[in-house]
Structure 1
Amino acid sequence: MVTRLLPRVLAAISIAALAGCAGTEAAISPPPGLPDTTRCGTVNIAVNPWSGYAANVAVVSYLLESELGCKVNSAELSETASWAGLNDGTIDVILENWGHDDLKKKYIDRQKVAVELGLTGNKGVIGWYVPPWMAKTYPDITDWKNLNEYADLFKTSKSGDKGQFLAGDPSFVTNDAALIENLKLDYTLVYAGSEDKLIAAFKKAQANKTPLIGYFYEPQWLLSDVKLVHIPLPNYTPGCDSDVEKVACDYQPYDLDKIGRKAFVDSGNPAATFIKNWQWTNADQNEVAKDMTQNGLSAADAAKKWADANRTVWEKWLP
């Protein structure tokens, strides 16, 4: 995400292989109805640190294993490290990419080790948010030009004499520090430390009616429970964020996409075709993510629950 797991979620995603790969090229085809484990082999998927991405990995991994007989390995990495993995061969696919035009130029255009695999179907929105009680109590706070008038409300022991702007995981690639400086706002950036802590902070702020302003995004399951209010910044226009030190515009809206290792895609592996075909909605992702983080389901169980209810959707993804 531009860049969006709890240890328990990450642990759940390390999915065991359901079938091994054949040891020779002369492997016997499996009986009808059983997955062909000789064709897919091992698929290495990057896991970036936000629950929506974990939901992607859970469903894709479950179906690759159960329908195509693949062995799926997952690696917990930052966004930048995931792209480097495409280069060194340790990663075959990134399931949710938030922009990163600089990395596309490096690894796709120049080094030619990665390729685009199409859209995920998810719409990504990044921005600044306040809990709904604040927007109701202070209606003009949703105009960013008024934020300095409210800076004192957001002071904390961590922000000193400035208002606190709460960020999430330090590995998320964001523009917030530059935006605060370039829009001349009397705030300082404080990291929650993880997506989970960011979510907890917003839930607590709404429940206790305490002031909070911070970074957030959709798709995200929390927004179905707490209707955070987006504060629009100066309109995004193409190129307005090209110089990260001078950026003074809102985040780009994203049609999220998938990135694959070129050698993996060119190999004809059926898993690559499946991932190219895979598309779902923000609502699909939020449902699985909430089951994994709030409803006590393992990654495999959450994926199976979704797959059982949406067979007509995922059957179209099969090679």
Structure 2
Amino acid sequence: MKYSVIPSIALVMTWGVSSAIAEVESLDPIKITTHDWSGQIITTTIMGEVLKQAGYNIEYVQADYIAQFAGLKTGDLHVAMEIWETTGREAMDEAIETGNVVSLGESGMIAIEEWWYPSYMEEACPGLPNWEALKDCADVFSTAETAPLGRYLGGPVTWGGFDEERVEALELDFEVVHAGTDAALFAELESAYQRKAPIILWLYEPHWAPAKYEGKFIEFPSYSAACYQDATIGVNPSAAYDCGKPTGPIWKVAWAGLSQKWPGAAQAISNFNVSNTEMSAMISKVDLEGQSVEVVVEGWLSANKDRWVSWIK
């Protein structure tokens, strides 16, 4: 998932678009959350700027990925543009079950998040990408801080993912070490890759890294909801989480009151749709080319005007 947070987003664009929604139902700010990775900030900024073109008052609010559901339940926050099937589904389902949060559908992007290693590690750990190979070669992934255990470099703690539980359930001789930020995660990958140094870490799509670096995701036992919930299900009959992470859509969710207070905005957000390919290209421009989120979003809006105008009709 993820990169640098921008505390405020101020794009000034004049597209010559008259308010596509005849009457904006309320000028109270619609509070849309931003998190700590570039793609989510890009997604959120595209949607927010489109809603501004329709006349809505938009406020971007930095929030924790999982903890944001508390604010969405109470209506203190209104919209979250990226809830990943891989890491956010349980929190999303719990929030929706309260009746205070609703799904606004899929974003068009499909999430993959899993352990990943560079291809050059296959010589030191034969049998990869099968997860069972890690049982015999954890030590080749060790560092001074984890030896004799291998080191798995996880994402920031706020991303969730149950990696500690997975290590224990699958009886892997690994220590999970969390990167402090998305930027730190990929900086360490870049450094290791250039030196052909041992590394295994959290990687995800949509993102530029799986295209830039040659490597593979670990093939854990297939995910099932039962594997996460029932210790008797899976390869270890005594522990849950003895399987890989799920894959699936990246969802949009909202405070249940959104469709009553701002029905036009709720429909526009439901209409939002971008692909993995589009998002990976935009993330690359920000993370690799050093372009600002504002510039990248403005470029996308300029190139896709007919498309986003249809969202707000």
**Structure 1 and Structure 2 fold alike (TM over 0.5):** yes
In the other structure, the counterpart of 1:5 is 3
In the other structure, the counterpart of 1:290 is 284
- Distance in 1 (CA, whole Å) between partners of 2:289 and 2:45 is 15
TM-aligned CA deviation for residue 59 of structure 1: 1.3
Q: Is 1:85 equivalent to 2:71 in the alignment?
A: yes
- Distance in 2 (CA, whole Å) between partners of 1:18 and 1:85 is 28
Amino acid at match of 2:127: D
Q: How is 1:34-73 mapped onto 2 (pairs within 5 angstroms)? A: 38-39=24-25, 41=27, 42-65=29-52, 67-73=53-59
- Distance in 2 (CA, whole Å) between partners of 1:133 and 1:318 is 48
Is the CA contact (8 Å cut-off) linking 1:159 and 1:189 kept in structure 2?
A: no
Q: How is 1:276-315 mapped onto 2 (pairs within 5 angstroms)? A: 276-315=270-309
In the other structure, the counterpart of 2:96 is 108
- Distance in 2 (CA, whole Å) between partners of 1:241 and 1:211 is 29
TM-aligned CA deviation for residue 46 of structure 1: 1.0
In the other structure, the counterpart of 2:137 is 150
TM-score, reference length from structure 2: 0.87
Is the CA contact (8 Å cut-off) linking 1:117 and 1:276 kept in structure 2?
A: yes
Change (3 A) 1:18 1:270: farther
1:239-296: CA deviation from partner (whole Å, max 9, x where unpaired): 2112596210111112111101111122244222111100110111112222222323
In the other structure, the counterpart of 2:146 is 159
Q: Indicate the structure with greater helix content.
A: 1
Amino acid at match of 1:108: I
Q: How is 1:1-319 mapped onto 2 (pairs within 5 angstroms)? A: 4-6=2-4, 9-11=5-7, 14-16=8-10, 33=18, 38-39=24-25, 41=27, 42-65=29-52, 67-99=53-85, 100-110=88-98, 112-135=99-122, 138-242=125-229, 246-319=240-313
TM-aligned CA deviation for residue 234 of structure 1: 0.8
Change (3 A) 1:69 1:15: farther
Amino acid at match of 2:199: L
Is the CA contact (8 Å cut-off) linking 1:169 and 1:194 kept in structure 2?
A: yes
- Distance in 2 (CA, whole Å) between partners of 1:45 and 1:272 is 12
TM-aligned CA deviation for residue 211 of structure 1: 0.6
In the other structure, the counterpart of 1:25 is none
TM-aligned CA deviation for residue 120 of structure 1: 0.3
Change (3 A) 1:121 1:291: same
Q: Which consecutive residues of structure 2, in runs of 5 or more, have no partner in the other structure?
A: 232-238
State which drifts further: 261-270 or 226-235.
261-270
Is the CA contact (8 Å cut-off) linking 1:18 and 1:70 kept in structure 2?
A: no
Is the CA contact (8 Å cut-off) linking 1:219 and 1:285 kept in structure 2?
A: yes
TM-aligned CA deviation for residue 133 of structure 1: 2.3
Is the CA contact (8 Å cut-off) linking 1:159 and 1:188 kept in structure 2?
A: yes
Question: How many aligned residue pairs are there?
Answer: 300
TM-aligned CA deviation for residue 124 of structure 1: 0.5
- Distance in 2 (CA, whole Å) between partners of 1:267 and 1:128 is 42
- Distance in 2 (CA, whole Å) between partners of 1:40 and 1:222 is 41
- Distance in 1 (CA, whole Å) between partners of 2:311 and 2:214 is 32
TM-aligned CA deviation for residue 53 of structure 1: 0.7
Change (3 A) 1:223 1:68: same
- Distance in 1 (CA, whole Å) between partners of 2:74 and 2:146 is 40
Amino acid at match of 1:182: A
- Distance in 2 (CA, whole Å) between partners of 1:95 and 1:268 is 16
TM-score, reference length from structure 1: 0.85
In the other structure, the counterpart of 1:26 is none
Change (3 A) 1:40 1:303: farther
Q: Which consecutive residues of structure 1, in runs of 5 or more, have no partner in the other structure?
A: 20-30
Is the CA contact (8 Å cut-off) linking 1:126 and 1:253 kept in structure 2?
A: yes
Give the CA RMSD over aligned residues.
2.5
In the other structure, the counterpart of 1:23 is none
Amino acid at match of 2:77: I
Is the CA contact (8 Å cut-off) linking 2:34 and 2:60 kept in structure 1?
A: yes
Change (3 A) 1:118 1:68: same
Change (3 A) 1:210 1:132: same
Is the CA contact (8 Å cut-off) linking 2:125 and 2:134 kept in structure 1?
A: no
